[in-house]
Amino acid sequence: MTSHLPLLLLSILALTGCTVGPKPRVPAPESLGVPAHFQTSAAQPDTTNALVADWWLTFDDPVLSHLVEQALAANTNIDAAGARVRQARAALKSTRAGWWPTLDFGMSASRLMGVGAGAQVPDRTTYDAGFDARYELDLFGGQRRAVQASTADLAAVEANLHSTQLTVAAEVALNYVDARLAQRQLEIARANLAAQDETLQIVQWRTQAGLVGALDLEQARQLRAQTAATVPLREQALSSALNRLSVLTGSAPGTVDAVFERVTPIPMAAAAGISVPAEMLRRRPDVTAAERTLIAETARIGVREADLYPSLGLSGSLSGNSSNWGDLTNASFGSLAAGLTAPIFQGGRLRAAVEQQRAAAIQALAVYRDTVLVALEESENALVAISVTERRERELVVAEEAARNATVLARSQYQAGIIDFSNLLDAERSLLTTETSRATAHADRAAATVQLYKALGGGWENAPSPRSLTSTFP
């Protein structure tokens, strides 16, 4: 009974070992000043959970939906984020391996041969084989804290993958809006250019008839050239947006050009109610990533503090030596040992490591708080942008109608000789500016809606798993 007492004591120590370091926790939203409702009370897009997950469908644009889904399946940044998840999963498995003993097996064979004709030693082959086992008891919870930190790291990396997915979906939608805006502005510029060509022809006739001077002709030519100069800029903006969409969908520039041959209006999502800030924070993956990082860094304090305390290790071996391979099991012997090590003097290195890790946890807490506040800021800004752009577009609709009517009246009155050319010039210039401004305001409202869905953390829930999670290399 006495011989089993040390083993019994070691078992009790292992089962009752404490876990050092602070318990990881995340501040409550109330302590961060999270409000119960958003400040903006204007009409907002429907952001119920069912719609936020696939928010691009609310725009009712098949081309947009196709591009977003293609990007979620083939985007290279998403693949890279998926590979990081794969790395984190492997790292967690490696950390969990510290809970188990290590077991090594070794085997060798040697040949002893007599030398010379009168050798008295006969030739002989000797076989050696053995097992070595080692195990360190987690007396103070350092290993438990390490697994806890690694688990939180994996959750943070997975949240970063989701953040990448929603960012890619939003970028596709924003560039899609830019492409449709460039197409609309091209239409506006070309339509105004055609009208100004007619005006220039009228001025030329009146100049030839001696009814007006050369000044009117030069002013008409100037306006026409200025309008024509905007066309290449709109074409460049369209090309840039299409190239960006191609890359976002994992393709070479020019791949998506064919689906834009048919010009369609800038899509717009319907307006309705919105979720509360607390729901938004639970859904946003960047907030989740910051939260899990805080937990991981806090858990690592325990890992560092465990290094300050003694460690208890067990080791054992089983080996055999024989000239006959079949007799190794009969010629084996084993040993079992326990060793206790404790840090005595490390020059302050271990305590400095603890303090360094505490500082890392403080930094992670600050990053978490900042992430929450930025999330609230982005949501509020998007809500305000929707309200402002909606009011602006509503006024520009009236302004565009008035500018178009004014241009028609000015052209007819100029032909009749009632007004001079400067009035017609101002009317045509104002029409071009107002039509362009209205198209831009409509695109800004659509972009603000996309930004709101992005701020609310939507777009990753139903995304497919990245190919990098299961693919082989190369």
Residue 324 or residue 185, greater confidence: 185
| Distance from C-alpha of 64 to C-alpha of 66, rounded to nearest angstrom | 5
**Average of per-residue pLDDT values in the chain:** 85
| Least-confidence region, from 61-75, 185-199, 323-337 | 323-337
Q: Assess whether the previous peptide bond of 277 is cis (omega < 30° from 0).
A: no
Question: How would you classify residue 119: left for phi > 0, otherwise alpha for psi between -120 and 50, otherwise beta?
Answer: beta
Q: 256 CB contacts (<8 Å, ≥6 apart)?
A: 67, 242, 245, 246, 249
DSSP 463: P
Work out the average pLDDT over 238-262: 95
Q: Rounding to the nearest 10 degrees, give the CA dihedral for residues 341, 347, 350, 356.
A: 180
DSSP 123: P
| CATH class of the domain whose range is 16-100+130-317+335-465 | mainly alpha
Answering whether pTM is above 0.75, one says yes
pLDDT > 50? residue 285: yes
Structural domain boundaries in the chain = 16-100+130-317+335-465
Work out the average pLDDT over 448-469: 90
- Number of Cα atoms under 13 Å in the Cβ half of residue 432: 22
Q: Please, which pLDDT band fits residue 180 given cuts at 50, 70 and 90? A: very high
| 223-244: pLDDT as tens digits | 899 999 999 999 999 999 999 9
Work out the average pLDDT over 129-148: 82
